Structure 1
Amino acid sequence: MEIKMAMATFLVLLLALVVPSKTEEKFDVRKHLSTVTRYGVAKDVVANDYVASTVPDGCTTIHLNLVARHGTRSPTKKRIRELDNLANRLEVLVRDAKAEAEKGNISLKFPAWLWGWQSPWKGRQKGGELIIIGEEELHHLAVRIRERFPDLFDEEYHPDTFVIKATQVPRASASAVAFGIGLFNGRGTLAAGKHRAFAVTSESRASDILLRFYDCCKNYKEYRKNQEPSVEKLKEPILDEITPALVRRYQLNFTRQDTASLWFLCKQEASLLDITDQACSLFTPHEITLLEWTDDLEVYILKGYGKSINYRMGVPLLEDVVQSMEQAINSKEENLIPGTYEKARLRFAHAETVVPFSCLLGLFLEGSEFERIQREQPLELPPKPPQKRNWKGSIVAPFAGNNMLVLHSCPANNSSKYFVQVLHNEVPVPMPGCDNKDFCPFDVFKERIVNPHLKHDYNSLCGVELVQEPKPVVGKLTQLSRWLFGQDGDKQKNKVEL
């Protein structure tokens, strides 16, 4: 009997070693593509097993703010050219390897798909457009939001009730349209789906400080231009570590640039085409996590917490969000008739919008970093794998990534009547400024999270020159002197620490 028990125990232990645990997940490269990650992969990810707050009974949703990135898109023109150049480069590498193999110097080890490979976007003259996958991401997002907040979207459509804004970039406005189709499906009479026509408004690119504040911010553009070479330098050690490994593995004379282009191809194939057994298969899982980290560093430094100007230039957007909530509270207090006031403000833009806005809310920070930001102190860069980090581009700003600020009216609560709940990619997320809770009294939200940012004026921060009022008339001789010697042209510019 004892022998049988011992044998049974041995078999159990053996199976435990051979059969993988149910909790162990197979490595999926599609979860490691930084901001090229498809929304369906990133959605529902909960950071650090955070348990969301329970909305108290009796609370009603009275307003919703949405700041969303456009859906999955095709490569841009510049990137299409890079992939065409990669095809030419691979042709040379394969030909040289074949010649060396015929001489007996090496054996051919590279995968068969490299023979005659051509970019799926070869010959395309334009790029960057929203693709069908991206349309579906925004459409399904709208359907889920309508189902989640039925009381908000039960009103007859009016452009002042459901305000939809997008940047003038076609993929953003197309995302707004896809979202609107999902949101108002069945609410009209158009076609079989009983669609309803709806308005999408845009501001000129040159003056859109709500959704394209980074394009209008002179000091930020200078900072980014100066910082981009340093970011590329940060990536070089990882590329220099991986490139020799690829050369040994496949007997192809890859350069650092080849490795970077192959990584870009991997991201495009995996995200847009669901192909993971070509470019992505060239890298080991460890190499992919390192390459992902370099991309996350770039997002952090150029769009995120790397410099305060990255997100503080987004203050006009934060002000717009708070203003809309205050208007909703006033409408509630005045008992306005439903349908006569705004119930949702829905915005569609870019990663350069969503990332700074997430930073303004204090999301994805670690430890005491929120307090350090409040004290104007710089933060450390996200740690290198295998160390864990909160900052991951695949979660912070995947395609269709979004922040929702949901305003609740809770009359039964003694401490506060109105609360804000923040959802990132539809998942409640903790805010350090609200004691690491996702459900926060509106007054506390304003005092601890919003107000500290409002002391930074956009025009001063960004070096935007305002039109000056005409000066009093001075003597003609003085005017002529100033005109001749350029004294009027020496405008004093505010110097801002970037």
Structure 2
Amino acid sequence: MQILLTVIVLALINYIDSVSSIKTSFIRQHLGSRTPYRFRANKNDSRIKYPGCKDIKIWMVIRHGTRLPSQKDLNAVSSLLELKYEVLWQQEYGKGQLTNEQFNRLQEWRVNIDPDQDSYLTLEGQDEMILLAERMQKRFPSAIKQKYSNKTFLFRYTATQRAQQSARYFTNGLFEKKDAQDIIFAPATRVDTVLRFYKHCDRWLSQVKRNPETYKETRLFGLSRQMNKTLESVSYRLGLSRVLRLETVELMYKFCGYETSWDKHHISPWCYAFDEDSMQMLEYYHDLKAYWLDGYGHELSYRQACMSIKNMFEFFDKRDGYQSIFMFSHSGTILKVLTHMKLYQPSSPLRGDAIVKDRPWKLSEIDSFAANLAFVLFRCKDGDHVLTLHQERIIKLPMCKHELCPLKHLKEYFHDSIYKCDYTDMCSLQPNSTNVQVENN
């Protein structure tokens, strides 16, 4: 009897551990744009070769690595601290669904971040950059030399600490320590129409970012019956007698992402508030906003990314000069460039009346911390070809028949992006221009 009881207890423990592990694994896959790159990176760093071809150039845009919360999120931390004590109080009275371990971890939770270091690159972000660089160099040793020269390498970053430090640690992964100390970085400028074109595009700022219509579907979803049930579910799991506001639950979701990204061994205690359904609801809420702000929702959002695409084609056309260009930027740049390249487009526009679970537009997968997009030029016997990698994985561009796509074909397809990309004309506010084209297919 004693043996049977022991077996049952051990089986129960294993089952609980298994369920907990599944939940943890699920949470890590649905953190949106705060997903750490270690959950997305392609660890296979074998050299990528094609018969009769040689990699000769690489142009790569990289989102900065895992960072600390923004100033806005840090300013809201006090509300989470108050909520923490309310939840712990309810748990003491037997309410809520936290386990003893989860209760203890929430009890220990605190944020000790210098407000002056908002959005700074974290240790995890440093590791992401070093490892990414090492893997890319192994894949393309001809295009990415092991010996540094300012005549063959160009490194650019935006005027932010997280982008500058991402560039610095990326070079630490490429070169020996003595060489890495001598790297020359292109000076960061306040206005950079290649790395962060949207920040100073007046028409986009006016007609898209500051336009209430851009957020119509996001607001609709936030007020939906599905979202109201999610808020009730989260509040119930925490043992609260009231229903939390969406802004509070969204902040919990953000810190679930931030803190899970920083810590390789544990998820954030705020993740305990979510089950699989509620996690997917918050993920979609953020995907929906990004779709209409940075993606296919408005034509101008992705059209202005021609500034980056033109830079890439001009680089490939030059017969001398740099072999490798690495640019360190932000989520807004990555998403707009991906959209310009016709990648991850849903079959129909994302709407706020119902969640679309099988959508290709998922920030958790396409826009994690350290998200990256690389174009590699191969010189082949039958001409120049371009290989595209997203998150270090080879992808076939929609306008190409094969993954290794003829440069000539791409230049024809993106003719307007190369030769009709007038930033001043595209981004200046016209006196009679009040509408912006919306994607309807």
Q: Which TM bucket (shorter chain)?
A: 0.7 to 0.9
Q: Return the match for 1:430 from 396, 414, 425.
A: 396
Q: Which amino acid aligns with 1:31?
A: Q
DSSP-derived class of the 2:227 partner: helix
How much has 1:497 moved relative to structure 2?
Answer: 2.7
Which whole-Å CA distance do the structure 1 matches of 2:298 and 2:57 have between them?
Answer: 32
Which whole-Å CA distance do the structure 2 matches of 1:366 and 1:254 have between them?
Answer: 33
Q: Which amino acid aligns with 1:73?
A: R
Q: Return the match for 1:29 from 21, 27, 30.
A: 27
Which whole-Å CA distance do the structure 1 matches of 2:249 and 2:22 have between them?
Answer: 27
Partner of 2:281: 290
Which whole-Å CA distance do the structure 2 matches of 1:391 and 1:135 have between them?
Answer: 27
- Check whether the contact 1:71–1:135 (CA below 8 A) recurs between aligned residues: yes
How much has 1:251 moved relative to structure 2?
Answer: 3.0
Partner of 2:11: none
DSSP-derived class of the 2:385 partner: strand
- Check whether the contact 2:259–2:268 (CA below 8 A) recurs between aligned residues: no
Q: Which amino acid aligns with 2:387?
A: Q
Partner of 1:217: 201
- Check whether the contact 2:396–2:403 (CA below 8 A) recurs between aligned residues: yes
Which whole-Å CA distance do the structure 1 matches of 2:215 and 2:96 have between them?
Answer: 35
Which whole-Å CA distance do the structure 1 matches of 2:180 and 2:109 have between them?
Answer: 41
Aligned pair count reads: 403
Which whole-Å CA distance do the structure 2 matches of 1:171 and 1:364 have between them?
Answer: 26
DSSP-derived class of the 1:63 partner: strand
Which whole-Å CA distance do the structure 1 matches of 2:359 and 2:189 have between them?
Answer: 37
Q: Which amino acid aligns with 1:319?
A: K
Partner of 1:104: none
Partner of 1:247: 235
Which whole-Å CA distance do the structure 1 matches of 2:292 and 2:141 have between them?
Answer: 39
Q: Return the match for 2:252 from 233, 256, 262.
A: 262
- Check whether the contact 2:256–2:268 (CA below 8 A) recurs between aligned residues: no
- Asked if residue 393 in structure 1 is aligned to residue 391 in structure 2, the reply is no
Q: Which amino acid aligns with 1:421?
A: L
Q: Which amino acid aligns with 2:222?
A: K
Partner of 1:128: 119
Which whole-Å CA distance do the structure 2 matches of 1:323 and 1:464 have between them?
Answer: 28
Q: Return the match for 2:407 from 418, 439, 442.
A: 442
Q: Which amino acid aligns with 1:216?
A: H
DSSP-derived class of the 2:399 partner: helix
Q: Which amino acid aligns with 1:80?
A: L
Q: Return the match for 1:418 from 374, 381, 384.
A: 384
Q: Return the match for 1:108 from 84, 95, 116.
A: 95
> What are the ranges of 5 or more consecutive residues in structure 1 without an aligned counterpart?
1-17, 19-23, 47-53, 102-106, 332-340, 368-378, 466-491
- Check whether the contact 2:91–2:239 (CA below 8 A) recurs between aligned residues: no
- Check whether the contact 1:181–1:195 (CA below 8 A) recurs between aligned residues: yes
* Distance change >3 Å, CA 233–CA 202, structure 1 → 2: farther
Aligned-pair identity in percent equals: 24
- Check whether the contact 1:407–1:421 (CA below 8 A) recurs between aligned residues: yes
Partner of 2:328: 348
- Asked if residue 183 in structure 1 is aligned to residue 174 in structure 2, the reply is yes
Which whole-Å CA distance do the structure 1 matches of 2:113 and 2:181 have between them?
Answer: 38
How much has 1:129 moved relative to structure 2?
Answer: 0.4
Q: Residues 69-93 of structure 1, C-alpha deviation per residue, up to 9 Å, x if partnerless?
A: 0000111122112122221234346
- Check whether the contact 2:73–2:251 (CA below 8 A) recurs between aligned residues: no
Partner of 1:497: 436
- Check whether the contact 2:306–2:417 (CA below 8 A) recurs between aligned residues: no
- Check whether the contact 2:155–2:185 (CA below 8 A) recurs between aligned residues: yes
Q: Residues 432-455 of structure 1, C-alpha deviation per residue, up to 9 Å, x if partnerless?
A: 1113x3211001111124536754
Which whole-Å CA distance do the structure 1 matches of 2:118 and 2:131 have between them?
Answer: 24
> What are the ranges of 5 or more consecutive residues in structure 2 without an aligned counterpart?
1-14, 16-20
Q: Which amino acid aligns with 2:358?
A: K
- Asked if residue 236 in structure 1 is aligned to residue 228 in structure 2, the reply is no
TM-score (norm 2): 0.83
- Check whether the contact 1:266–1:276 (CA below 8 A) recurs between aligned residues: yes
* Distance change >3 Å, CA 144–CA 177, structure 1 → 2: same
Q: CA RMSD in A?
A: 3.0
Which whole-Å CA distance do the structure 1 matches of 2:368 and 2:132 have between them?
Answer: 14
DSSP-derived class of the 1:91 partner: helix
Q: Which amino acid aligns with 2:32?
A: S
Q: Which moved more, 1:219-228 or 1:297-306?
A: 219-228
Q: Which amino acid aligns with 1:255?
A: L
How much has 1:29 moved relative to structure 2?
Answer: 1.0
- Check whether the contact 2:309–2:417 (CA below 8 A) recurs between aligned residues: no
How much has 1:155 moved relative to structure 2?
Answer: 6.8
TM-score (norm 1): 0.74
